[in-house]
Amino acid sequence: MRESKTAGPPAESKTAGPPAELLEEIARAVEVGKADRTSPYPAELTGKDGVAELTGRALAAGVPAVAILNQGLVAGMKPVGDGFRAGTLFLPEVLMAARALAAGFEQLKPHFRSGALKHRGMVVLGTVQGDLHDIGKKIVSLFLEGNGWRVIDLGVDCGPGKFLAAIAEHRPAAVGLSTLLTTTMAGMADTCRRIKERHPEVKVIVGGAPITDEFARAIGADCYSPDPQGALDFLAGAGTTAKAQSPGRTPGPRQP
């Protein structure tokens, strides 16, 4: 099992103490990808409680749902994002963390439904027209959801009209455009231009193997990042949460 970046041993059942310790256990369980007691991953924690049980126990102990979300689940994803950015964590570990996170979100569903918990905002994602690749977009989606964003995934081969319709319907804080192909970069530029013409308040984030910061600047995108954490940092720093839908905002900081 990989080492947790947070202090202390990995999640151990029936040792949860005060709320702060329980929240740390939830965070560690997310980080190492321990979804629930039945999960065989990580092998070293077979039979131990995972995020599902720990979250349930925290709720039963009266820990506020918002604290579980932010100090447990989201906090647990942070080292995963950092490790992925640094190249020390890989997709299988990210997927395990995402599964563990989903197990926690499942426990929190009633609190989202009641309005006690809110998503940070909404992001529309899609691969641009002419391109059928989607793994990069899926990875970004995992990290966005893991950080409390609601994601509307439009899929692949999305023309500008599909993005504009989704923006009109969902009023997202940001739109993420993905492409793997050099041949569809022109289509990305056109989509970005049309979004900015109609919805200047919506942040446009671009990514994909051939994309560069220079290209992102040239097409008027608000953010380019070579990794999901950069998009998260941009969203956190760009005032997109809650206030994002006020029109006429100036572009936020661009990732290096």
Please give the residue ranges that form the binding site for other proteins (CB under 8 A). Answer: 33, 39-42, 87, 89-93, 95-96, 99, 131-136, 138, 156-157, 180-183, 208-210, 226-227
Report the relative pairing of strands 223-224 and 174-178 from DSSP bridges: unpaired
Residue 184 CB, shortest distance to other proteins, in Å, is: 10
* Pick 15 or 46: Cβ nearer other proteins: 46
DSSP letters for 152-168: EE--SSB-HHHHHHHHH
Q: How does strand 223-224 pair with strand 149-153?
A: unpaired
Distance of closest approach, residue 6 Cβ to other proteins, in angstroms: 20
**Identity of the residue, 79 or 136, whose beta carbon is nearer to other proteins in the bound complex:** 136
First vs last C-alpha separation in the chain: 33
Query: Residue 60: phi, psi to the nearest 5?
Result: -65, -30
Q: Which is nearer to other proteins, 217 or 243 (CB)?
A: 217
128/173 with CB nearer other proteins: 128
76 contacts 31 by C-beta, under 8 angstroms:
yes
Token couple for 30: 């997310």
Neighbours of 173 (CB within 10 A): 25
Which CB atom, from 2 or from 243, has the smaller least distance to other proteins? 2
In terms of CB distance, is 39 or 107 closer to other proteins? 39
Q: Which residue type does 57 have?
A: R
What token pair was written down for 119?
Answer: 């998503």
Least distance from other proteins to the Cβ atom of residue 183, Å: 5
- State which residue, 42 or 239, has the beta carbon closest to other proteins: 42
CA atoms of 154 and 116, how far apart (whole Å) = 28
Q: At what angle do helices 135-146 and 91-114 cross, to 10 degrees?
A: 50
Contact 217, 254 (CB under 8 A): yes
Q: How near is the Cβ of 21 to other proteins at its closest, in Å?
A: 27
**CA–CA distance, 41 with 37 (Å, rounded to integer):** 10
